[in-house]
């Protein structure tokens, strides 16, 4: 149990213990490095390690942000150039894509000509099909289960791919799904030639990768740094990187990230501790925030034996939370959740269950579920000490633990590093016994598949999807299917609004806040745009 009387201090102590010598080593390396120049930008990630660079990085969406889209490309990309509107899909390695009118489970994709991998070999239909097989064909020699299972959960509709001609492929799906282009943003393309040259070994490839992205890997020191160099042969000339070198360092502790920024050891930091923002601004650093499709939740297991298998307990937990208090604790860097998406979203719908702070109503629901004085509901929850999208997980979870205890839900936390948490998320919940019945991981709601279908469709438990808690509601499945078959945005939005209302009414998760994603940077750093998206483009960034 966490000592509530010393919540903030104990959280800080534990974070320092968890990062231990790793952060000290990172800061020591940076302190001893050469002075920063305009040609180099150094970024401190909140991850505890460099994401694995095998075109399917671990580390969640932060892993993709730094270990994915910097080195690799996808067929379909996000337009990350605007801070003022939600991001939209644009062509990446694919020039165009469309359903085959003769078979709506088959998509015809025209590949971009003239693209080469970092090793100089061509990206063509053969290379594209090879990459699909590496994830979706367990009989292919390049298939590695550990890698494939970490990727395919984001593309639940994909069955495989086949070559039509040198610049055209067909993507095959399990069923008709108009949402496929969103899923294709998560399949990154690696060089088959580099893989072969390294003895057909994905582990060796991750140390010396070759993609088609805007940066090439120059130096990789696990848990210390990843140094990238501009890819001068990059196919997307308007996005040729402004900086010659991009250095990424893992510093999971927020206080250590701030110290590194203040000392000039890094130029840009992720996940700024809210209580440091006023002093950073006062010292002349730039701090940016923006709304983006993020919800900080607990996934809840509904397997037999879990207290959360009872909807009344799930609703009680949601009514116990003081969201306004958590927003205040976060210094206004979050928005209180009213659902999995904000009320302003076209997918919000009309849920009947209202997320509010009502401890007495929570106690009443728990009593109806058979809990009360001397018989609290009990839950073990898996949480991380830091990581992409986790905000300030220890103090936030301490506040939640206290609120739940006050209504009769006793929570025990199992604190792990983010990679361990994310691995557990991909593997799905297990029958309770001594296993966690909740998992704290932020939900990305920027598209229907990644934010909803793969997380709550009853057919998409691991390994095909990431329905961690084994949630099942036929009405939700039907709404998802309607969205997948929709031929226009209005019909899709209506179906998603129906699904969302059902999910909120079921209290499918503990829904807490939406992050505003504070980042801080040197006043000399120019070109960064904070989009309304989990990802960001670091090609325009340079030191002025």
**286-288 and 443-444 as β-strands: parallel, antiparallel, unpaired?**
unpaired
The rounded distance, in Å, linking the Cα atoms of 354 and 350 is: 10
CB-count exposure of residue 428 (10 Å: 0-12, 13-18, 19+): buried
* HEC-encoded secondary structure of 40-72: EEEEEECCCCCCCCCCCCCCHHHHHHHHCCCCC
Q: How far is CA 159 from the centre of its chain?
A: 23
**CB proximity list for 365: less than 8 A, separation 6 or greater:** 312, 313, 315, 316, 319
- Half-sphere exposure of residue 213: CA atoms within 13 angstroms, side-chain side: 29
The DSSP secondary-structure symbol of 34 reads P
Q: What does R_g of the chain's alpha carbons equal in angstroms?
A: 23
Token pair belonging to 156: 């639940």
Helix (H, G, I), strand (E, B) or coil at 96: strand
Task: Give start and end residues of each alpha helix (H) in 369-443.
Answer: 393-407, 418-427
Per-residue pLDDT for the chain (544 aa), expressed as one digit of tens each? 443 333 333 333 333 333 333 444 555 555 444 334 459 999 999 999 999 999 999 989 999 999 999 999 999 999 999 999 999 999 999 999 999 999 999 999 999 999 999 999 999 999 999 999 999 999 999 999 999 999 998 999 999 999 999 999 999 999 999 999 999 999 999 999 999 999 999 999 999 999 999 999 999 999 999 999 999 999 999 999 999 999 999 999 999 999 999 999 999 999 999 999 999 999 999 999 999 999 999 999 999 999 999 999 999 999 999 999 999 999 999 999 999 999 999 999 999 999 999 999 999 999 999 998 899 999 999 999 888 788 999 999 999 999 999 999 999 999 999 989 999 999 999 999 999 999 999 999 999 999 999 999 999 999 888 999 999 999 999 999 999 999 899 999 999 999 999 999 999 999 999 999 999 999 999 999 999 999 999 999 999 8
**CB proximity list for 440: less than 8 A, separation 6 or greater:** 296, 297, 298, 299, 381, 382, 383, 384, 390, 393, 397, 421
**Bridge-partner residues for 81, per DSSP?**
none
Token pair belonging to 72: 């690799």
* Overall size of the chain counted in residues: 544
The rounded distance, in Å, linking the Cα atoms of 465 and 453 is: 9
The rounded distance, in Å, linking the Cα atoms of 139 and 160 is: 12
């Amino acid at each position: 149990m966490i000592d509530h009387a010393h919540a903030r201090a104990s959280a800080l102590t534990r974070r320092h213990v968890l990062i231990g010598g790793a952060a000290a080593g990172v800061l020591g390396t940076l302190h001893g490095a050469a002075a920063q120049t305009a040609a180099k930008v150094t970024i401190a990630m909140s991850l505890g390690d460099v994401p694995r660079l095998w075109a399917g990085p671990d580390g969640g969406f932060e892993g993709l942000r730094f270990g994915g889209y910097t080195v690799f490309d996808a067929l379909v990309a996000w337009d990350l150039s605007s801070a003022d509107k939600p991001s939209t899909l644009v062509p990446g390695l694919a020039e165009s894509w469309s359903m085959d009118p003769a078979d709506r489970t088959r998509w015809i994709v025209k590949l971009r000509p003239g693209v080469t991998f970092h090793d100089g070999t061509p990206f063509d239909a053969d290379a594209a099909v090879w990459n699909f097989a590496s994830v979706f064909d367990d009989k292919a020699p390049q298939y590695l289960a550990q890698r494939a299972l970490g990727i395919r959960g984001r593309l639940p509709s994909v069955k495989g791919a086949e070559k039509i001609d040198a610049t055209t492929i067909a993507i095959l799906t399990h069923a008709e799904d108009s949402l496929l282009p969103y899923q294709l943003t998560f399949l990154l393309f690696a060089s088959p030639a580099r893989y072969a040259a390294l003895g057909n070994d994905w582990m060796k490839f991750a140390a010396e990768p070759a993609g088609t992205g805007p940066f090439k890997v120059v130096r990789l020191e696990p848990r210390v740094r990843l140094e990238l160099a501009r890819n001068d042969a990059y196919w997307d000339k308007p996005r040729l990187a402004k900086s010659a070198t991009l250095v990424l360092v893992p510093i999971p502790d927020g206080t250590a990230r701030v110290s590194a920024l203040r000392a000039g050891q890094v130029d840009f930091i992720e996940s700024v501790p809210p209580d440091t923002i006023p002093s950073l601004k006062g010292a002349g650093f730039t701090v940016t925030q923006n709304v983006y499709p993020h919800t900080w939740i607990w996934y809840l297991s509904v397997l037999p034996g879990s207290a959360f298998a009872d909807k009344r307990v799930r609703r009680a937990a949601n009514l116990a939370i003081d969201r306004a208090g958590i927003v205040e604790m976060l210094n206004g860097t979050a928005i209180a959740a009213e659902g999995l998406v904000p009320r302003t979203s076209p997918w919000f719908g009309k849920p009947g269950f209202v997320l509010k702070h009502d401890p007495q109503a929570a106690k009443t629901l728990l009593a109806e579920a058979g809990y009360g004085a001397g018989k609290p509901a009990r839950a073990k929850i898996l949480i991380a000490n830091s990581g992409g999208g986790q905000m300030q997980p220890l103090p936030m979870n301490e506040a939640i633990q206290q609120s739940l205890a006050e209504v009769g839900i006793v929570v025990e936390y199992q604190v792990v590093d983010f990679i361990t948490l994310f691995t557990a998320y991909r593997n799905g919940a297990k029958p309770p016994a001594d296993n966690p019945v909740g998992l704290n991981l932020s939900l990305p709601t920027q598209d229907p598949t990644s934010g909803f279908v793969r997380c709550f469709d009853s057919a998409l438990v691991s390994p095909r999807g990431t329905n961690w808690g084994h949630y099942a509601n036929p009405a939700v499945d039907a709404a998802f299917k309607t969205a997948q078959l929709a031929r226009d945005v209005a019909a899709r939005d209506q179906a998603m609004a129906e699904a969302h209302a059902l999910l909120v009414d079921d209290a499918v998760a503990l829904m807490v806040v939406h992050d505003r994603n504070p980042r801080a940077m040197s006043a000399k750093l120019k070109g960064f745009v904070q989009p309304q998206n989990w990802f960001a483009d670091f090609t325009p960034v340079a030191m002025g």
